[in-house]
Structure 1
Amino acid sequence: MESEICAIATACTIVVLRKMGKSVHYYLSVWYYAVIGLIECVIIVFILSEWKLPSCGQDRWILMLIAVLGITGQTFLIKALQIEKAGPVALTRTVDVVLAFFFQFIFFNRAPTWWSLGGALCVVLSTSGVALRKWYNSSRRS
């Protein structure tokens, strides 16, 4: 159930960001992304009563790296949606699946299961099929 809600929320986010287009500066969207994320984190930590920083110095650096990469990724997503249509941007985001397997194997030394590989293959093949069909249809019109 959570994955369906996440997919719907992601689709709504992409549509809203695309609709705003260039009328809103992309840093404003990134600012709201960061502020809303901070508010959500504070609420969740308050509900769970887990107010503590990681004890290890390396974990703190990793948390800061996650924040920087999250903001950078959001900035690139918003700029891409301002330049390109929502469909190709959403299709390109499926690279996340491949990167997740790669980082899982490299950093956590965990090999993916056959089920997860099958699911990732379905996602990659279906998005590749959509992209190839669009390319074929546009080249036929030209």
Structure 2
Amino acid sequence: MSDIAVATTRTRAILLMITAILCFTLMDATAKALSPRIGVLPTIWARYAGQMLLVLVLIAPRLHSVVRTDHPGLQFMRSILLMSATAFFFTGISLIPLTEAAALMALNPVLITLGAALFLGEPMGPRRIGGIAVALIGAMIIIRPGSAVFSPAALFPLAAAGCYSAYSLLTRRLGSGEDVWTSLFYTGLVGTVLLTMAVPFAWQTPDAVAWGMIGLITVFGTFGQLALIRAFSLGEASMLAPYSYTGLVFAALWGALFFAELPDFWTVVGALVIAGAGLYVWHRETYRR
């Protein structure tokens, strides 16, 4: 592949990654507004059931080919990890400000970098190890364990970051050999089946506004997943990971616009430490390479 073709492919992967993060932050903001109306579990169920319905409509003409996969085990594991990440994060944003949760979730790029080295054989130099350590310090600045401001609810976004990182690595492991619609189908199918068994115990009937929000979550979640899967099929996990930090900007914007949430000083400091660590690692180990 020529240098121009490689650069074009990387640019497409980066733009798809940013698009995915934009969709996900809009989905998160909508979920934060929806949770008080119908509860956290029905909100998570709506995210997956809506995606499943939309995907079925879009792939109906070729459903028989989309459902075929050469990696059923990986698809199932991906789906469980993403569902877990969604559950942890939606629970977190129902309890703490959106910006704070997003800042903690921003640990996932350095976790992806570590996982890519350990499990995918991607380069892992001392600067990446240092970046991971600094990013963890940034997370501790935000949650400040042992201080009066520490909230156990902050652990939910941290758990979400871990699950999402593992999901991203498995998506990268699948590569471009698997149809993106196949991956999207199984992500929605597993989440919908498992959550449908649980949601009757926490069901609250949505009103008209809530149904509108459910529709938005469906659209944002589905197209975000589609963009993310395509991005990781085109570009290295460690190359794309730093662009997750755009989520900090988007989350701060939606938090201020929709919820009048302004991050405190230490949340900003911690977020900058995490983002700075990840961007430094990317610049030194990926860009210069």
Which whole-Å CA distance do the structure 1 matches of 2:194 and 2:260 have between them?
Answer: 31
Aligned to 1:58: 209
Cα distance 1:110–1:97, how it changes in 2: closer, same or farther (>3 A)? Answer: same
| Unaligned stretches of 5+ residues in structure 1 | none
Q: Does 1:16 align with 2:170?
A: yes
Q: More displaced, 2-11 or 71-80?
A: 2-11
1:84: how far off?
0.3
1:26 aligns with 2:180: yes
**How far is the alpha carbon of 1:114 from its aligned partner?**
1.7
Structure 1 residues 43 and 122: alpha-carbon distance in aligned structure 2, compared to 1, 3 A threshold:
farther
Residue 18 of structure 1: CA displacement? 0.9
**Aligned partners of 1:30 and 1:75 also within 8 Å:** yes
Q: Within 2, Cα distance between the matches of 1:59 and 1:119?
A: 34
Query: Structure 2 CA distance, aligned partners of 1:53 and 1:97?
Result: 32
Size of the alignment, in residue pairs?
135
1:73 corresponds to which of 207, 221, 224: 224
Partner in structure 1 of residue 190 of structure 2 = 36
SS of corresponding position for 1:78: helix
Alignment partner of 1:19: what SS? helix
Change (3 A) 1:136 1:20: closer
Alignment of 1:100-139 (within 5 A): 100-134=251-285, 137-138=288-289
* Equivalent pair of 2:181/2:226 in contact (CA under 8 Å): yes
Q: Call closer, same or farther: CA 1:43–1:92 in 2, change over 3 Å.
A: farther
Pair 1:37–1:108, CA change in 2 (3 A): same
1:65, distance to aligned residue in structure 2 (A) = 0.5
Kept in 1, the 8 Å contact 2:172–2:232? The answer is yes
1:101–1:130 CA distance, 2 compared to 1 (3 A) = same
State the TM-score, normalizing by the size of structure 1: 0.82
Deviations 1:65-118 (A, max 9, x none): 011101111111110011000112222122222211111111111111222212
Amino acid across the alignment from 2:215: M
Within the alignment, does 1:98 sit opposite 2:252 as a pair? no
| C-alpha contact (below 8 Å) 2:238/2:282 kept by paired residues | no
User: CA contact under 8 A between 1:94 and 1:124: conserved in structure 2?
Assistant: yes
1:30-69 deviations in Å (ceiling 9; x for gaps): 11111223234324424xx2222322x2221111101110
Structure 1 match to 2:161: 7
Q: Is the 8 A contact 1:98 1:120 kept in 2?
A: no
Letter matched to residue 54 of structure 1: P
Question: What percent identity do the matched residue pairs reach?
Answer: 24
Q: CA RMSD in A?
A: 1.9
Give the deviation of 1:24 after TM superposition: 0.7
Alpha-carbon distance in structure 2 between the residues aligned to 1:92 and 1:136? 13
